[in-house]
A and B are shown apart, each in its own frame.
Chain A
Amino acid sequence: MIKHILKLIWKRKAKNAFLTSEIALSFLVLFAVLSFVFSNLKRYYQPLGYDTEDIQLARIDFDALGEDSIKWVNTKKALKQELNQVNGIEHVSFSTSVAPFEDSQWTTGNESDEPGAINFESANLIITDEDYVDVYRPTLVAGRWYNDDDIKGKYKPIVVNKMFEERYLKDTTTLGLVIKFWNDEFIITGVVEYFKYLGEFAEEQPMLFPYLSEHSQQTSFATIRTASNVGPEIDKQINDVIEGVMKDVSFNVSKVDENRIRQSRRSWVPIVGLLSLCGFLIINVAMGLFGVLRYNISKRKGEIGLRKALGAAPGNINAQFVGEMLILTTLALIIGLLFAVQFPLLNFFQVDQDVYIKAIVTALGIVYFLVFLCSLIPSAQAAAIDPATALHEE
């Protein structure tokens, strides 16, 4: 029967070309949308690597303090001290202008011919202090976050993430390793598992957390961890403290968890939009297929009548038309696949191969299911055709 159907399809290839192209194109569009969605979802389901609850982020215009480094040091010390004295505040940490969900990043690299130098193409930086670990609570897979002893040591302490270690420190022991960049030397004290600070849909990047000296004038954020049982009055207390210490310096305080939700919603927009468009496309393709099939069957009434006269049972007719559509779909999908497999093979858009493969398999499944569904009713109608009437009409 399959050979018989193949012969019919081959002979009717010109008539089937439009339908085949429609199916192949639908598959490719579905594949593209699903690749985008799966790639985003894969990143979404990768752990953030740190806490976001009960953390408030104060962006403070420290630059307004001027260039007097003593004033900087004293102000920061006073701010930390005052904040720590507020009942319900557990930890306070300072960091540079990069913070989770703030859409800012700072990237650096190192290329050196010096013996023993560790070269890395690109890594993201958050320069911060020893309290950062208590505020965000990242998971450390080796070593520890730097402490007072590390700060007093010969080298500046630094923490890296697992991705940095895997990408750039494969052939060496990470903990205790001294790496040089920016004409400075840093000793690695710990490795955090993940730190997706660019957002839930962002890809994990190689990360460096160099120590932010108290003398540094690069500070932009004070990050505050509060106890989980504090009430909303803590917001006012934080504001009052910052206002009291920083005087006329401008600042604003936000909740990291709210920032996370806000950014997450923004990232869902293109995904939901594309999925909706895709849904409309599927409905349109389904309606088109349904119409084309019904038209084809009405054109083949005589053939159906003949087949029934010659001994085809309704089930045979049903199977033939569903079979024809599934074989035609297979041919269309082979054409579509030839294009789709180029993406994982040539590693377009730096998307993981498993994402492409999952998108291909899902798109194949959806197209087959759709075609099967759309061919059921017209095929059943074909099977119900009265042979005497069909032969007479012909």
Chain B
Amino acid sequence: MIKLQDVTKVYRTDTVETLALNNINLSVEDGEFVSIMGPSGCGKSTLLNMMGLLDRPSDGQVTIDEKELKGYKEKALAKFRNEHLGFIFQSFHLIGDLPVVDNVELPLLYRGTSAKERKRLAEEALEAVGLKNRMKHYPSQLSGGQKQRVAIARAIVGKPSIILADEPTGNLDSNLGNEVMDILLSLNRDRKATIVMVTHDENMALKTNRIIRLYDGSLVN
């Protein structure tokens, strides 16, 4: 379960203070598929970064699987992300100089998994997204939909309990977007993965269990 209590995030520069999140309280239950919606700049990605432990709140606390993560050091946070969280990004974030299989193996590399086991798990993950035959391809040889499926394989390879997806269909046409959405839905249904997805697409959001709406950094009922 993900729990945010009184989470506030303020970005400060020398002259400007920007309130990105304002006193957010929410929880996402285990196995739930939640979408976050709202206009550009409302704080959706910041909220996702808080849940993904990529950023620290200015105030309030984030609890994941009953663990209060405020006092965690960088190294401990990295370990926690590696073991519990999977990320999917709008622009895929694949490393162009590595073949598909190596891109998928990345989270396992930081877990200290053996090369043989990494390869086996990466193959399994790629098979789950229907891309086992593209293992040795480079990202530049794939279509947008295929790239996002590789990113999904990378997100699930370490069998995390939570998947955080930042506009996973944002760069895809509706067909490819639906394909990706179907994979996410099946992960939620079959693997009981908790998924939090930021999206602008109302149709995609409607397929999820719950929609959280944000406006100017605050939750909207």
A: residues with CB less than 8 A from B are 1, 3-4, 7-8, 11-12, 302-303, 305-316, 386-388, 391-392, 394
Contacts and interface: CB of A to CB of B under 8 A. Distances in A.
A303 B95 contact: yes
21 contacts: A3-B115, A306-B93, A306-B95, A306-B106, A308-B78, A309-B87, A310-B82, A311-B82, A311-B83, A311-B158, A312-B78, A312-B110, A313-B74, A313-B79, A313-B110, A314-B75, A315-B75, A387-B54, A388-B55, A392-B45, A394-B91
A323 to B, nearest CB: 13
A313 B91 CA distance: 23
B34 to A, nearest CB: 19
A1 B87 contact: no
Nearest to A316: B110
Contacts, number: 67
A303 to B, nearest CB: 6
Contacts of B98: 7-8, 11
Interface in B99-155: 102, 106-107, 109-111, 115, 154
B97 interface: yes
A310 B89 contact: no
10 A-B pairs with least C-beta separation: A311-B82, A11-B97, A311-B110, A313-B78, A388-B54, A313-B75, A388-B55, A388-B49, A310-B107, A306-B93
Given A310-B81, A311-B82, A388-B49, A4 B95 contact: no
B52 interface: yes
A310 B81 CA distance: 7
Nearest to B49: A388
A66 B39 CA distance: 114
B97 A302 contact: no
Contacts of B115: 3
B75 A394 contact: no
Contact of A307 (B49, B55, B106): B106
B101 to A, nearest CB: 11
Interface residues of A, dominant DSSP: helix
Contacts of A1: 109
Contact of A391 (B75, B79, B89, B109): B89
Contacts of B55: 386, 388
A81 B82 CA distance: 97
Nearest to A315: B75
Contact of A309 (B52, B79, B102, B158): B52
Interface in B1-26: none
Contacts of A306: 93, 95, 106
Given A305-B93, A308-B78, A311-B82, 17 more contacts: A7-B102, A8-B97, A12-B97, A303-B95, A306-B106, A308-B54, A309-B52, A311-B78, A311-B79, A311-B158, A313-B110, A316-B110, A387-B54, A388-B49, A388-B54, A392-B45, A394-B93
B155 to A, nearest CB: 9
B69 to A, nearest CB: 14
Nearest to A387: B54
Contacts of B91: 394
Nearest to B94: A306
Given A303-B95, A391-B89, A4 B102 contact: yes
Contacts of B110: 307, 310-313, 316
B12 to A, nearest CB: 14
Nearest to B80: A311
A390 to B, nearest CB: 9
A146 B89 CA distance: 94
Contacts of A312: 78, 110
Contacts of B111: 311
A309 B119 CA distance: 21
A311 B155 CA distance: 11
Nearest to B158: A311
A129 to B, nearest CB: 79
B159 to A, nearest CB: 13
A394 B98 CA distance: 18
A12 B109 CA distance: 20
A3 B118 CA distance: 13
B75 A310 contact: no
Contacts of B107: 310-311
A173 B32 CA distance: 100
Nearest to A384: B74
Contacts of A309: 52, 54, 81, 87
A311 B53 CA distance: 11
Given A309-B87, A310-B81, A391 B97 contact: no
A48 to B, nearest CB: 60
A314 B95 CA distance: 19
A53 B45 CA distance: 84
Contacts of B82: 310-311
Contacts of B49: 388
A41 B172 CA distance: 69
